[in-house]
Amino acid sequence: MTTHNQRINHQPAFLLSTSPWRESSLLVELFTRDHGRVAMIARSARKRQSELRGVLVPFTPLLVSWFGSAELKTLHRAEWLGGWPQPQGQALFSGLYVNELVQKLTAREDPMPTLYTALFEVMRSISQTPVHHQWAPLRYFEWTLLHALGIAPDISQDGQGQAIDADTQYWMRAEHPPISLNTVASLPPNSAESGVAIHGETLTALNQHALSSTRAQQQALRLTRLLIDFRLPEGIHSRNILKQIQSYYSGSDY
């Protein structure tokens, strides 16, 4: 955890969520480059004349300043840096999904500059590229998040310490190393309901951020979904909403 600073100025950040606070203020959650996820009160932000009213928008980079020594800070200033348009259509759900993962899985005031960089890159991709080109960037972000949290399995070697073979199929379970399906007579008891089969080529491509084939992207999706759902058994709200209205959209899954 970081030391509580009295005042932080000009910190790059992304807005994760907002909710009403008292009569005219907002409770905001931001993910910042050097301080991780921070909760703040944006006083009077809901008033029409507030300087913050049109600035506190998700999915695009902000520059924020705040003060306070308690866990709940006071937002002093926010600047919209722009750089790309707001995501539209199904891309909007990708942005909501990413924000929900960050808010649910990270601890407050735990610095993760590598994750901030990954958040910047995935938001830029979501906002600027077609939906069908966002699958790989979403998988890279998920994998970076799992690594930053220390809960990603080592997919550079199998459970026997052997390097991953591109031509071998592996069985993956949450909190377990890859198991080569070429070297086991049968799966461990009760594992079939909680695991996925992944080719070694996909594991290497995911590790190297080099997912290119449709098969690799689909397998990487199954793997990251397995690991994330294990940590969030209550489900992911943005994914559930998308499922309810997916008949109106075509394309990606996450």
> What is the per-residue pLDDT across 220-234, written as a single tens digit (0 to 9) for each?
999 999 999 999 999
Q: What is the pTM of this model?
A: 0.89
Please provide the average confidence, as pLDDT, over all residues in the chain: 89
Please write the tens of the pLDDT for every residue from 89-106: 889 989 999 999 999 999
Give the 3-state secondary structure of residue 205: helix
Question: What was the pLDDT predicted at 253?
Answer: 55
Q: What's the mean pLDDT in 127-134? A: 86
Domain 86-254, CATH homologous superfamily name and number: Recombination protein O, C-terminal domain (1.20.1440.120)
- C-alpha distances in Å from residue 188, one per residue of 9, 181, 194: 53, 11, 11
For residue 1, what pLDDT is reported? 45
Q: At 2, is the pLDDT very low, low, confident or very high (cuts 50, 70, 90)?
A: very low
Q: What angle do CA 55, 60, 61 make, to 5 degrees?
A: 85
Q: What are phi and psi of 251, to 5 degrees?
A: 125, -125
Q: Give the tokens for residue 15.
A: 């807005």
Tens of pLDDT, residue by residue over 184-199, are 656 666 655 689 999 9
- Of 24, 6, 8, 26, whose CA–CA distance to 16 is shortest? 26
Q: Is the pLDDT of residue 117 over 80?
A: yes
How many CB atoms are closer than 10 A to CB 154? Answer: 13
Q: Structural domain boundaries of the chain?
A: 7-80, 86-254
pLDDT tens for 145-180 read 999 999 999 999 999 999 999 999 999 999 999 999
State the CB neighbour count (10 A cutoff) for residue 213: 12
pLDDT of residue 7: 93
Q: Once rounded to an integer, what is the mean pLDDT over residues 32-46?
A: 95
pLDDT at 205: 97
In this structure, which topology does domain 7-80 adopt according to CATH?
Answer: OB fold (Dihydrolipoamide Acetyltransferase, E2P) (2.40.50)
DSSP letter for each residue of 95-152: HHHHHHHHHHHSPBT---HHHHHHHHHHHHHHHHS-GGGSHHHHHHHHHHHHHHTT--
Q: Which residues contact 84 (CB under 8 A, 6 or more apart)?
A: 60, 123, 124, 127, 128
What integer pLDDT is reported at residue 249 of this predicted model? 47
Q: What integer is the mean pLDDT of 27-46?
A: 95
Mean pLDDT of 114-120: 98
Retrieve residue 72's tokens. Answer: 């709940």
Helix, strand or coil, per DSSP, at residue 172: strand
Tokens found for residue 197: 């089969």
User: Could you tell me the pLDDT band of residue 244, with boundaries at 50, 70 and 90?
Assistant: low
Show the tokens assigned to 152: 């990603």
**Residue 186: per-residue pLDDT:** 60
**Lateral strand order in the sheet of 195-199:** 179-180, 169-173, 195-199
